[in-house]
Amino acid sequence: MRNLLIFITKYNAFFLFLIFELSSIIIYVKYNSFQKASVINSSNEVTGRLYTQINGLYDYLSLKEVNDSLARENARLRNQQKSSFYIDTIARHKINDTVFKTQYEYIDAKVINNSTNHSYNYITINRGSKDGITVGMGVISGAGIVGKVINVTQHLANVQSMLNKDTRFSVMLANNREIGYIRWGDDLDPTKGMLMDVTNNAQPKLGEMVVTSGYSLFPQGIPVGRITNLHPKGGGISLNMEVTFSVDFSKLQYVDVVDYKFAKEQEGLEALQKKDD
């Protein structure tokens, strides 16, 4: 027993190393597979508040870009005034119509934390469960799709960015409506994504728009990006293409969270089908 104690004190560095290394690996493995539903992330109170304050400072630095994007957004809105169904200036916007039932609602939010240079990027926004945000909602910006809500607190929410190796969304080619899915590219470039699993019958062209398919969280036709390379490495049974995102993720400032009203219904229905299989 005494020899053991002497042994442990002599090599204390190694044992301390073992203890702390094991605990951090356990934390790492545990909280990264469980969708980050942990205390240690940026939607918790302290880090969230700090980010909000520092973000106030960053805002001044990018006023010009924000102005430009707002002007562009304004022009776009004026073009589609009649059907401007969803864009709103206040937190929520509802249309009471007896013929049309609101299918998508949009909640505007501001990005208070964002990264583009890791393998798994996340965005924190300043709206939470109090504003009606729940886990699983899609997030878009004026220019295109941004990501998906994965974690919500009262005032803040965590968004799994498009720039995340786990992110996949159902999309289609704008012209001939061939569907596939989009994921982030392999070389961590924040402007490039990969469009996967398009059938060989599709005849995509360089520069063609890629838009959302409407099969999942987003309404149909939200832009995703443009095809910039038809023959990246890989592929085989189906076509793969390189897509340049229409959203500039490094300058993301304001986003809209999409509340798909029938999400629960669709999920329930599709779960039934799975049970039958």
**Residues found near other proteins in the complex (CB under 8 A):** 12-14, 16-17, 19-21, 23-32, 36, 38, 40-42, 44, 46-47, 51, 54, 115-120, 122, 158, 186-190
SS3 of 270, please?
A: helix
Amino acid identity for residue 132 in this structure: G
User: 37 or 71, CB closer to other proteins?
Assistant: 37
User: 47 or 170, CB closer to other proteins?
Assistant: 47
User: 39 or 75, CB closer to other proteins?
Assistant: 39
Radius of gyration of the chain (CA): 22
Judge contact between 125 and 112, C-beta under 8 A. yes
User: 25 or 91, CB closer to other proteins?
Assistant: 25
Q: To the nearest whole angstrom, how small is the minimum distance from the Cβ of residue 10 to other proteins? A: 11
Q: To the nearest whole angstrom, how small is the minimum distance from the Cβ of residue 171 to other proteins? A: 24
Q: To the nearest whole angstrom, how small is the minimum distance from the Cβ of residue 184 to other proteins? A: 12
Q: To the nearest whole angstrom, how small is the minimum distance from the Cβ of residue 28 to other proteins? A: 3
Going by C-alpha positions, the residue among 253, 233, 235, 192 that lies closest to residue 67 is: 253
Q: How many CA atoms lie within 13 A of 42 on its CB side?
A: 19
SS3 of 156, please?
A: coil
Q: Tokens in use for 194?
A: 């990969």
